[in-house]
Structure 1
Amino acid sequence: MDLRNDSIAGMSVARAHAELIKDQKGEKVIVAVIDSGVDIEHPQLQEVIWINRDEVPNNNIDDDNNGYVDDRHGWNFLGAANHENMESVRLQKKEKPESEAYKNFEEKRLKSLESKKNEVVGIQDMLAQIKESDSIIKLILGKEDYTLEEVEGYSPKTFALMEALIFQRFLEENLLTKSKLEVYLEGAQTGVNAHYNIAFDGRAVVGDDPDDINDTLYGNPNVIGPDKDAANHGTHVSGIIAAVQNNNPGNKSNFEGTEIMVLRAVPDGDEYDKDIALAIRYAVDNGAKIINTSFGKGYSPHKDWVWEAVRHAEKNDVLIINAAGNSGKNIDPGMEKTYITDEENGIELFTNFLTVGAVGHSYNEKQVASFSNFGAINVDVFAPGDKIWSTVPHEKYDFYSGTSMAAPNAAGVAAIIRSFFPKLKAFQVKRILMDSGLPMYPSLKSPEGETLVNPRSLSASGKTINLYNALIYASNKSYKK
């Protein structure tokens, strides 16, 4: 979408391809996706998945001597693990029950556990309401298949039919379906059974010591993971990156400039710092020029390991594009902390780290997505992240929302810039993405309240990423110095 052509402040991908890079081929750029796993068998992703051609598949030999056996498309740092505790619960387990720290963690855990239990009940109620409203409509219309237009045109309308219609319209407007709510229900139940369950140990099947950064002989090359359905997040993220390359509505990319390296390191729960640090290092050491990190958590006991890995990326000219988070909070210094971050005590630690918030489809005071984190210091720029259509496992597609969708949109733009302007350094690409963005609506509603604020109070740039502008800025000689 393009503000000039469509009146929507999108990334101008179609316009950029049509007017600036049509029929051109850039250099290969590897984008590493550190996530929940990716369905590399999805027909829309097969052509863009990175292949480690120095590794012979399935021969149980580390052919390229990089420390990872049969890593043809990346590495699975989680092995057979799927679900995990939240980091706060893992930290609680390390404290003595009589300690104040344990008691504080327990208070937070019980509060979160109760919230998840209420969420389960709420989703179950919605599923029951779907069944009831569907039955009412079928009974009154006397048919099994119907459209909401038929229901609206039916006369006479009873109170029950009107209630059913209003509820069904609510579902339609919010892109909610029975199958999607069932997925949400499963997620809420996982929150009860795993995330906030102090008796749960998701790491046991991995077989490593997560508190030993030198214990690296773990995981496997199955980058999809043990359950393809659990790779939905990473598959969606990867599809967004691929789609930016040629703006194809089917999300299939024939653009030769991008390959996606898959690093499975994000479980259903909080990720381990060790896995993230090693995944970043793997990406850097195996040729990635961009790393997408669409995840985050509130505690990071080994943040030094992660920061050392980010520094390794910085020294090797690798750009990290990070999702700001979905709490609708200010994450600037002194406010709510989210990891990974490139800031400590108000000081920016790295030049190669871009944090991205999410905007919706409106160009008005509600442009910033209500769920998006923000911050004049710790959020650099915004990108589309609300109701984004992309790939999900089993050859399917779906709409997802989150800063997890905004970050890969930014990563896709960065990949094109690095492909067509390979001499630009990571820090220069970061500046281009920030400087070239579209100015946001002049008075914006903050996700935390009703007060209208200046865009520069929500991000360092006050802008949204735009491919068309970024390509023009990248050609400017001042960025090549």
Structure 2
Amino acid sequence: MSIPLSFRLRLAALGLLLPTLASAQTVTAPAPPSAVTLAGPQWYLLDPQKDGVMGVSALRAYAELLQGRTSTPVTVAIIDAGIDTAHTDLKRLLWRNTKEIAGNGQDDDQNGYVDDVHGWSFLGGPDGRNVDIDTYEDTRVLARLQPRFQGKTRATVPAAQRADYDLYLKAKKTYDEKVKENTQRLKEIGEAYTENQQGAEAVKQALKVSSLDTATLHHPPTQDPELLAVTNGLYQNLKQAGYPSLEAVLAEIKEALTDTKNQLDYSLNLKFDPRGVVQDHPNDVKERRYGNKDLYGPEPSHGTHVAGIIGADRTNALGILGLADNVRLMAVRAVPNGDERDKDVANAIRYAVDNGASIINMSFGKYYSPQRPVVEEAIRYAGTKGVLLVHSAGNESKNMDQETQYPAPVFRNGQRIPNMITVGASARQNNADLVAEFSNYGRHAVDVFAPGNQIYSTVPGSLYANKSGTSMAAPVVTGIAAVLKSYFPTLTATQLKSIILQSAQPTHTQVHQPGTKKLLDFRELSGTGGIVNLYRAVELAQRQTAQ
């Protein structure tokens, strides 16, 4: 899963370190919704002209264009790490395999998957165990090729093996870079955690409070000028970063610390291979009947968040509003903590297509694809069935015109994939920071941008959180596609793609090129040069279907 954290740490006003993280989250319990509570956290539903933020005009589209219109159910597959199917804001919207009898241990519909009532996991074993952490693809490539090529030069390698030798050198380079980066990151985050923890304890003791949340820091129980300066600085910093408390910052840093250690211990471990859990044949790309029914998995936070953006219940007076109002969410687990395997991705796409998905969300990606042909075959198969694929562009601040991320937006023959949209992440304000600093981009490789910074959605336990990443931008586009397909059911996958791209809101704002302070026209960062907009998309769909 290509969802790396941005571990760049900045010095806060008080000398305490607060992180700027590409997957920062703030967890809250559900609250009864109102126009204010729904629109406030969910800025991405708002309208640029009416509300002054760079949302997708969803609330306006429902109020002005879709009110009173008839919709039909649309099945959307979410290929991800898992979904909390018991979430109060999701459970009513789950896709249901009506041919399968839940819990009877039999393959009632004879599709090869036992008890696949709401979807399937290609990361589970028949004994109920599940893959959590897996290796990165360059780790796997290096582990496979190093015994053949270590210590050799290209001149000493037979000509027939030089392509593999070149791949070995490339994988070794990126692998070594990741080891070095994560080793340094582990040191820095460990120091940041210690410093934040000690600073927090000192302030709590001085204030005689048990928690440093924004309410306490905004009105601290002290008249001491020095303490007031400290608390005000902390308050401003937390508000700016979107955290409810310093404890939430500490939890985020601790999570980052654990994640980085896991990368070094497992994802970058040449000897680690968790695939025995699945009990399949990893190199047999034609094998399809493996996995289990566990859709939750070890860590479903990412997939649950994605699901809520697409289709959280709009009728239950709880939590948030999903973009689509008549959707069936199908969970397909194929993305571990690490890099997804091509075989699993291909099988996940085929499973979704065969079970009636019209749109597939793919918030994952990687930079090596050793079994690329089998993924492309599955994508072509989806195309023949009229299924639209929506893919996140990645979070490494890279120019995708210069480096390929997989699944790539083009087939190996150079043909652009007609039924796939690649999505970069934009932010709330129409200023130099309109492009999320972590987002990949590319005039040719990235089709369009969508809100992906500080996106409020569902997380496990019937809770809600802010997360950031192109993983959040892709489901915004998926949700828009689902709305269009629901209200205009005759639209094909290629027509959906065309309408979404043509209706994107163009902007020529001078923005920071991701990963730099260089300014350039937002138009240069994607094929459309725009941000998706549901209102404009519905208008265009109305015109096209009326002809």
TM-score range, shorter chain: over 0.9
The SS at the match of 1:368 is: coil
| Higher mean displacement: 175-184 or 410-419 | 175-184
Quick one: which amino acid aligns to residue 349 of structure 1? Answer: R
How far did 1:28 drift?
A: 0.9
CA contact (8 A) 1:321 1:407 kept: yes
The Cα offsets for residues 445-471 of structure 1, whole Å up to 9 and x where unpaired, read as 321433332333211111111111111
Deviations 1:376-433 (A, max 9, x none): 1111111000000111111211110000000001100100000000111111110111
**1:261 aligns with one of 287, 305, 330:** 330
2:26 is matched with: none
The C-alpha deviation readout for 1:179-213, integer Å capped at 9, x for no partner, is 22222222112111111111211212111112112
Which one-letter code corresponds to 1:203 in the other structure? R
Query: Is the contact made by 1:133 and 1:168 (CA closer than 8 Å) also made in structure 2?
Result: no
1:70 Cα shift?
A: 1.0
1:213-264 CA distances to partner (integer Å, 9 max, x unpaired)?
Answer: 2222210011111x2xx11110110011014967987125697520110000
Give, in angstroms, the shift of residue 280 of structure 1. 0.3
Residue in structure 1 matching 2:525, options 458, 465, 474: 458
1:219 aligns with 2:291: yes
> Is the aligned partner of 1:124 residue 2:214?
no
2:302 matched to which residue of 1? 233
Instruction: State whether residues 318 and 426 of structure 1, in contact with CA within 8 Å, keep that contact through their aligned partners in structure 2.
Output: yes
Whole-angstrom distance in 1 between the partners of 2:407 and 2:198: 44
Deviation for aligned residue 1:344: 4.7
For residue 362 of structure 1, the aligned residue among 418, 421, 429 is 429
Structure 1 pair 400–287 and aligned structure 2 pair: CA distance change class (3 A)? same
1:352 aligned to 396, 406, 419, which one? 419
Cα 1:352–1:480 shift into 2, 3 Å: farther
Distance 2:221 2:450 in 1: 37
- Correspondence for 2:265: 193
Specify the alignment match of 2:116 in structure 1.
Answer: 71
Q: Secondary structure at the match of 2:72?
A: coil
Identity fraction in percent: 38
The residue number in structure 2 matching 1:438 is: 505
Partner Cα separation in structure 2 for residue 470 and residue 248 of structure 1:
27
Distance 1:413 1:152, change over 3 A: farther
Q: State the alpha-carbon separation in 2 of the partners of residues 143 and 348 from structure 1.
A: 62
1:238–1:440: structure 2 CA closer, same or farther, 3 Å change rule?
same
Aligned to 1:92: 142
Q: Distance in 1 between matches of 2:145 and 2:320?
A: 47
Cα RMSD between the aligned structures?
2.4
For 1:136, the equivalent position in structure 2 comes to 202
TM-score, L = length of structure 1: 0.92
Look up the SS of the partner of 2:110 in the other structure: coil
**What whole-Å deviation, never above 9, does each CA across 1:76-105 have from its counterpart, x for those lacking one?**
000011110000010111114343545653
Identify the match of residue 388 of structure 2 among 316, 319, 324.
Answer: 319
Q: Which residue of 1 aligns with 2:487?
A: 420
Q: Distance in 2 between matches of 1:347 and 1:244?
A: 40
Please say if residues 50 and 73 of structure 1, whose CA atoms lie closer than 8 Å, have aligned partners that are also in contact.
Answer: yes
Could you tell me how far 1:439 is from its partner in structure 2? Answer: 1.4
Summarize the Cα distance change of 1:480–1:85 in structure 2 as closer, same or farther, 3 Å threshold: farther
Equivalence for 2:363:
294
Residue 352 of structure 2 is aligned to residue 280 of structure 1: no
Aligned residues of 2:79 and 2:361 also touching (Cα < 8 A)? yes
**Secondary structure of the structure 2 residue equivalent to 1:203:** helix
- Stretches of structure 2 that go unaligned for 5 or more consecutive residues are 1-45, 125-129, 153-164
Q: Return the alpha-carbon distance in structure 2 between the equivalents of residues 356 and 244 of structure 1.
A: 24
Cα pair distance change 1:223/1:445, threshold 3 Å: same
Partner of 1:14: 59
- 1:109 corresponds in structure 2 to 175
Q: Which amino acid aligns with 2:441?
A: F
- What corresponds to 2:441 in structure 1? 374
Q: How far apart, in 1, do the equivalents of 2:324 and 2:448 lie?
A: 25
Query: Does the CA contact (< 8 Å) of 2:394 and 2:470 recur in 1?
Result: yes
- Alignment of 1:3 with 2:53, yes or no, is no
Code of the aligned partner of 1:395: S
Equivalent residues in 2 for 1:463-478, closer than 5 Å: 463-477=530-544
Structure 1 counterpart of 2:281, one-letter code = D
Aligned to 2:464, what secondary structure does the other structure show?
strand
Three-state SS of the structure 1 residue aligned to 2:391 is: strand
1:336 aligns with 2:403: yes
Q: TM-score, normalised by structure 2?
A: 0.82
Q: SS of the counterpart of 2:328?
A: strand
Give the one of 272, 277, 280 matched to 1:208.
Answer: 280
1:251 to 2:287 alignment: no
- Distance, in Å, in 2 between the alignment partners of 1:179 and 1:168 is 17
TM-superposed deviation, 1:54:
0.8
Q: Distance in 2 between matches of 1:247 and 1:407?
A: 25
CA contact (8 A) 1:9 1:438 kept: no
Structure 1: segments with no counterpart, 5+ residues: none
Taking a change above 3 Å as real, the CA distance of residues 57 and 129 of structure 1, as seen in their structure-2 partners, is same
Give the match's secondary structure for 1:194. Answer: helix
Partner secondary structure for residue 424 of structure 2 = strand
Whole-Å Cα distance in 1 between the matches of residues 66 and 318 of structure 2? 18
Measured in 2, the distance between the counterparts of 1:41 and 1:287 equals 22
Name which of structure 1's ranges 192-201 and 230-239 shifts more when overlaid on structure 2.
192-201
Three-state SS of the structure 2 residue aligned to 1:95 is helix
Aligned counterpart, 1:392 = 459
Number of aligned residues: 473
Residues 137-176 of structure 1: pairs in structure 2 closer than 5 A:
137-145=203-211, 147-151=216-220, 154-157=223-226, 166=233, 169-176=236-243
User: What residue identity is the alignment partner of 2:502?
Assistant: D
Distance in 2 separating the partners of 1:291 and 1:427: 14
1:342-390 deviation line (CA, Å, top 9, x unaligned): 2257933321110011100011232111111111111111100000011
Seen in structure 2, the aligned counterparts of structure 1 residues 316 and 44 have a Cα distance that, compared at 3 Å, is same
**Contact 1:246 1:254 survives alignment (8 Å):** no
Please give the alpha-carbon distance, in whole angstroms, between the structure 2 residues aligned to 1:436 and 1:162. 48
